[in-house]
Protein backbone atom coordinates (compact mmCIF):
# COMPACT_ATOMS: atom_id res chain seq x y z
CA UNK A 1 0.00 0.00 0.00
CA UNK A 2 1.49 3.40 -0.97
CA UNK A 3 2.38 5.77 1.84
CA UNK A 4 0.59 9.08 1.77
CA UNK A 5 3.16 11.84 1.25
CA UNK A 6 3.30 14.56 3.85
CA UNK A 7 3.61 18.21 2.95
CA UNK A 8 6.00 19.96 5.27
CA UNK A 9 5.69 23.71 5.50
CA UNK A 10 8.23 25.93 7.19
CA UNK A 11 7.59 29.23 8.83
CA UNK A 12 9.83 32.22 8.45
CA UNK A 13 11.32 31.56 11.90
CA UNK A 14 12.33 28.06 10.78
CA UNK A 15 14.70 29.31 8.07
CA UNK A 16 18.38 28.70 8.67
CA UNK A 17 21.02 31.37 8.47
CA UNK A 18 24.47 32.37 9.65
CA UNK A 19 25.38 32.21 13.32
CA UNK A 20 24.38 35.36 15.17
CA UNK A 21 26.07 37.12 18.04
CA UNK A 22 24.22 38.55 21.05
CA UNK A 23 23.02 42.11 20.49
CA UNK A 24 24.93 42.60 17.19
CA UNK A 25 23.42 39.69 15.27
CA UNK A 26 25.35 39.33 12.00
CA UNK A 27 26.80 42.86 12.02
CA UNK A 28 30.16 41.75 13.46
CA UNK A 29 32.65 41.40 10.64
CA UNK A 30 30.17 42.51 7.97
CA UNK A 31 31.73 44.79 5.34
CA UNK A 32 28.90 46.95 3.95
CA UNK A 33 31.00 47.71 0.82
CA UNK A 34 31.09 43.99 0.00
CA UNK A 35 27.62 43.09 1.29
CA UNK A 36 26.61 41.52 -2.03
CA UNK A 37 29.54 39.07 -1.77
CA UNK A 38 28.57 38.14 1.79
CA UNK A 39 24.91 37.60 0.83
CA UNK A 40 25.97 35.44 -2.14
CA UNK A 41 28.18 33.35 0.16
CA UNK A 42 25.34 32.88 2.65
CA UNK A 43 22.97 32.01 -0.18
CA UNK A 44 25.37 29.31 -1.38
CA UNK A 45 25.70 28.04 2.18
CA UNK A 46 22.06 28.24 3.44
CA UNK A 47 19.97 28.17 0.27
CA UNK A 48 17.78 30.68 -1.54
CA UNK A 49 15.81 31.57 1.61
CA UNK A 50 17.61 32.39 4.85
CA UNK A 51 17.43 34.70 7.86
CA UNK A 52 19.99 37.25 9.00
CA UNK A 53 19.97 39.58 12.01
CA UNK A 54 21.16 43.16 12.19
CA UNK A 55 21.10 44.10 15.82
CA UNK A 56 17.66 43.26 17.19
CA UNK A 57 16.02 43.19 13.73
CA UNK A 58 15.62 39.97 11.74
CA UNK A 59 15.54 40.01 7.94
CA UNK A 60 14.80 37.28 5.45
CA UNK A 61 16.87 37.08 2.28
CA UNK A 62 15.27 35.67 -0.87
CA UNK A 63 17.34 34.70 -3.90
CA UNK A 64 14.77 32.65 -5.82
CA UNK A 65 13.27 34.72 -8.69
CA UNK A 66 9.86 33.02 -8.48
CA UNK A 67 9.66 33.59 -4.71
CA UNK A 68 10.70 37.22 -5.18
CA UNK A 69 7.92 37.70 -7.73
CA UNK A 70 5.36 36.23 -5.29
CA UNK A 71 6.57 38.54 -2.52
CA UNK A 72 6.38 41.59 -4.78
CA UNK A 73 2.83 40.69 -5.85
CA UNK A 74 1.63 39.95 -2.29
CA UNK A 75 3.72 42.57 -0.52
CA UNK A 76 0.88 44.84 0.49
CA UNK A 77 -1.26 42.04 1.88
CA UNK A 78 1.23 39.67 3.49
CA UNK A 79 4.71 41.17 3.79
CA UNK A 80 5.70 44.22 5.78
CA UNK A 81 8.30 46.82 4.93
CA UNK A 82 11.20 47.81 7.12
CA UNK A 83 9.77 49.69 10.11
CA UNK A 84 11.59 52.99 9.59
CA UNK A 85 10.69 53.17 5.87
CA UNK A 86 6.99 52.33 6.22
CA UNK A 87 5.86 55.72 7.66
CA UNK A 88 7.77 57.61 4.97
CA UNK A 89 6.18 55.56 2.19
CA UNK A 90 2.72 55.94 3.72
CA UNK A 91 3.17 59.70 3.83
CA UNK A 92 4.17 59.79 0.16
Q: What pLDDT, on a 0 to 100 scale, did the predictor assign at position 41? A: 92
Q: What is the pLDDT of residue 30?
A: 81
Q: What is the pTM of this model?
A: 0.65
Q: Give me the pLDDT at residue 81, please.
A: 59
Q: Give residue 58's pLDDT.
A: 84
Determine contact, residues 89/81, Cβ cutoff 8 Å. Answer: yes
**How many CA atoms lie within 13 Å of 42's alpha carbon, on the beta-carbon side?**
23
Q: What's the sign of the alpha-carbon dihedral 10, 13, 65, 79?
A: positive
Q: Do 27 and 56 meet the contact criterion of CB atoms below 8 Å apart?
A: no
The tally of CA atoms less than 13 A away on the side-chain side of residue 1 is 1
Amino acid 8: pLDDT: 58
- Which stretches in the chain have pLDDT values below 50? none
Amino acid sequence: MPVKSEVVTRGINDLSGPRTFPIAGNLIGLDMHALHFQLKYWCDQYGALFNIKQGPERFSSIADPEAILRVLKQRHDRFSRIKFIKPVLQEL
